[in-house]
Amino acid sequence: MQVPRTVVTFQSGAFNTTERRPYFINDACYGDDVARWIIGELNSRGIPADSEPGQEDFGWYVTYRPGKAEHQLVLGYRPGDDRDPAVWLGWVERHAGALSSLLGARHRGIEPVALEVIHDILSRGESISRVRWYRKTEFDAGNEANGSTRPDAA
């Protein structure tokens, strides 16, 4: 069985990447506006989602239920440099409690519909470009050459 592509990158100039908000945990904790936009898009598709995003020390997350199980889209911003352009970075996980997370539950049983709905939102976004999907192990190893335009690509 093929390991799903659960990590996504995309480009957009429509969201805040320069102004620190007073409620940010860290100075560069951008992504609250991206997360709120995604929540609105989920709601417009009839998919239950938290009314507000949660904050991590590096970004934000959205909890949503596109099928039988709750999932989370975790979002952050990676500034560009001389070699690579700036991108928004996200990954889809199963929503799990602390103990289950320690046992790897966040990375098991991710429903294809959880990936498909995020892909649909991003690929239809007027201000979104260069949507690319990756397998977590490859992305974590720095191998972004094997990205795909779809999460379900072989």
The domain spans of the chain are 7-140
Tokens of 5: 């592509």
* Structure confidence at residue 81 (pLDDT): 84
Average pLDDT over residues 108-124: 92
Which one is predicted more confidently, 104 or 93?
93
Each residue of 9-52: pLDDT tens digit? Answer: 999 999 999 999 999 999 889 999 999 999 999 999 999 999 99
Which one is predicted more confidently, 107 or 59?
59
- Give helix then strand counts, H and E, for the chain: 4, 6
* Structure confidence at residue 40 (pLDDT): 98
In terms of DSSP bridges, do strands 7-11 and 71-78 run parallel, antiparallel, or are they unpaired? unpaired
Closest to 38 (Cα-Cα) out of 80, 87, 72, 4: 72
Across 62-71, 72-81, 98-107, least confident range: 98-107
For the chain, give the percent of residues with pLDDT over 90: 71
* Structure confidence at residue 108 (pLDDT): 66
pTM, whole model, 2 decimals?
0.90
* Structure confidence at residue 97 (pLDDT): 60
For residue 56, give the H/E element and its range. none
Average pLDDT over residues 137-141: 92
Q: Tokens 């590096």 label which residue?
A: 58
Distance between CA atoms of 32 and 13, rounded to whole angstroms?
A: 14
